Structure 1
Amino acid sequence: MALHYKIIPVTPFQQNCSLIWCSKTMQAAVVDPGGDVARIQAAIAAEGVTLSKILLTHGHLDHVGGSADLAKAAGVKIIGPQREDAFWIDALGEQCRMFGFPPVPLFQPDQWLEEGETVSVGEEVLEVIYTPGHTPGHIVFYSRSAQLALVGDVLFAGSIGRTDFPRGNHQQLIDSIRLKLWPLGRDVEFIPGHGPMSTLGEEIDSNPFVAGRAG
């Protein structure tokens, strides 16, 4: 497998920030750098990879709080999520106060992403899947070659994302999981925003919130 990954838990919420890289080029991306930037930088150095971009699944603080500092330090662009999450990113200051986090630098993504677009990491290609529900602009990054999905807070091992935040929508979330993720295939592994990894097949079989096929 040419796509490698390392999970770096960050923030008091233990959010799964992911370092992913192409083993052929050693070009890397960080997905959802929520905080603890020094820890993320140490992981990049330990793997000997070159950070080329930051990718965001959605705009919640524990997923984006370290984005501005990491982007500035590495001289890279921030890409994603889908533009409907702009209001969350614009409200970073308010999010910090709400959750008792120290202030973080504000930023705007250099590029919003839409369903069907792709993002390259070295020679590896990530497909962008639009998955609203937890937030209105949430996206998932999917590597077809590695059979790996980075799903943010859409789906967890045995659970699903919250929908009680502003502009969350429970039915949208269920539809995103069943109509967008299940068709990727049972063997696809996923890295959730929190907690252990799982496979889509395991969740189809046993997740109490979304078990069973679409329809």
Structure 2
Amino acid sequence: MMSALEFAILPVTAFAQNCTLIWSPLNKRGAIVDPGGDLERIEAEIDRRGIILEKILITHGHIDHAGGAAALAQRRGVPIEGPHEEDLFWIQGMPQQSKQFGFPHAEAFEPSRWLHDGDTVTVGGETLDVIHCPGHTPGHVCFYHAPSQLALVGDVLFQQSIGRTDFPKGNHQQLIHSIREKLFPLGDDVRFVPGHGPMSTFGDERMDNPFVADGQR
């Protein structure tokens, strides 16, 4: 039986990155998406809600999204899935990223599974679609759970904004294509958790996001 996933958003790190805990209410099995840091807080929330952590999901290789992945995977004995291997250079550079941005030391890691467009991941027996959305980083992926009409989009799209493309291997045209051709077709009613800031819907962003609204074509 398909059911809605429940979720809780935990802003972490000095960048207030939206780490998201998602789980099935039927069996309390879940995943943590983008544990960038503040692992004590993340683990306290997992335990407070009684979630059985199955895996870690990563949208892309920037430190505020993936900086705590290696340590959390080791502490909880769970696999890491994602991002796409085009972000390998970001993940291998995790220790350098931590120095550059003034973060606690972060270990590089090799995901248990790289993800590609059209793949699926399972959380608590529920299936999420993997959508490769390059532009902010070349290996960025988003996760979509159709029964919940919920997408986790990392730093691709924000309320009234879009992801930066001035980092190495960023590409503005790719980003716009990812949003308009891969995310928006999922439907106007889909709610999304961005990497930073408040939630929105694809319909609201299609209507008046100054970067990707329909009228901006």
Bucket of the pairwise TM-score, normalised by the shorter protein? over 0.9
Q: 1:26-79: per-residue Cα shift (whole Å, max 9, x none)?
A: 111000000000000011011111000000000000000110111111100010
For the Cα contact (< 8 Å) 1:179–1:214, is it kept in 2?
no
* Matching residue within 63, 66, 78 for 2:65: 63
The match for 1:94 is 96
Distance 2:215 2:115 in 1: 27
* Matching residue within 112, 118, 135 for 2:120: 118
- What are the equivalent positions in structure 2 for 1:1-215 lying under 5 Å apart? 1-212=3-214
Gap runs ≥5 in structure 2? none
Distance 1:104 1:116 in 2: 30
Q: 1:86-126: per-residue Cα shift (whole Å, max 9, x none)?
A: 00000011111111112112211111000111001112111
Q: TM-score, normalised by structure 2?
A: 0.97
Q: 1:143-194: per-residue Cα shift (whole Å, max 9, x none)?
A: 0010000000000000000000000000000000000001000000000000
1:214 Cα offset (Å): 9.5
For the Cα contact (< 8 Å) 1:178–1:214, is it kept in 2?
no
Task: Specify the code of the residue in structure 1 equivalent to 2:6.
Answer: H
For the Cα contact (< 8 Å) 1:182–1:213, is it kept in 2?
no
Distance 1:161 1:31 in 2: 18
Distance 2:216 2:129 in 1: 21
Distance 1:133 1:93 in 2: 23
Distance 2:10 2:104 in 1: 20
Distance 2:173 2:58 in 1: 23
Gap runs ≥5 in structure 1? none
Distance 1:134 1:106 in 2: 20
Distance 2:67 2:55 in 1: 15
- Could you say what secondary structure the match of 1:20 adopts? strand
Task: Specify the code of the residue in structure 2 equivalent to 1:51.
Answer: L
Distance 1:75 1:107 in 2: 14
Q: Which has the larger displacement, 96-105 or 155-164?
A: 96-105
1:2 Cα offset (Å): 2.9
- Could you say what secondary structure the match of 1:9 adopts? strand
- Could you say what secondary structure the match of 2:148 adopts? coil
Task: Specify the code of the residue in structure 2 equivalent to 1:174.
Answer: I
Runs of 4+ in 1 over 6 A off after TM superposition: none
For the Cα contact (< 8 Å) 1:24–1:123, is it kept in 2?
no
1:12 Cα offset (Å): 0.1
Distance 2:216 2:110 in 1: 36
Distance 2:98 2:202 in 1: 33
